[in-house]
Amino acid sequence: MKNLSGLMKQAQQMQEKMQEMQSRLESLEVQGEAGAGLVTVTMNGKGDLRQVRIDPKVIDPGDAEMLQDLIVAAHANARQKVETAAAAEMQKVTGGMQLPPGMKLPF
């Protein structure tokens, strides 16, 4: 029973660390950009889009497709930064132990 008690304590500690990590990720903000900074997006660590900034120079009614592409590219850039930050936070929680294949954060 002593081993079971220790295992339960470790599981509880891991759960607390995961909750702390998720709180840190939620408060984290990253910026992605495209077009040399003409379009920037801000996301939190959970992947929620918080802000989009567009330089007026790229607002051309005759070329909306370019602006759309820049927004998508900036979002992809920010998303990659969020995934990198989440992986770094997970490394802190797990002590370097890898997640099973296909399991991603934030949950």
Name which residue leads in pLDDT, 47 or 70: 70
pLDDT of 100 higher than 80? no
**51-88: pLDDT as tens digits:** 999 999 999 999 999 999 999 999 999 999 999 988 88
- Which CATH number characterizes residue 58's domain? 3.30.1310.10
Q: How many CB atoms lie within 10 A of CB 86?
A: 22
Number of domains in the chain: 1
Inter-residue contact 88 to 40 (CB < 8 Å): no
**20-39: pLDDT as tens digits:** 888 888 889 999 999 999 99
Does residue 69 fall inside a structural domain? Answer: yes
Inter-residue contact 49 to 55 (CB < 8 Å): no
Domain enclosing residue 52, as ranges: 25-84
Does residue 15 fall inside a structural domain? Answer: no
Does residue 79 fall inside a structural domain? Answer: yes
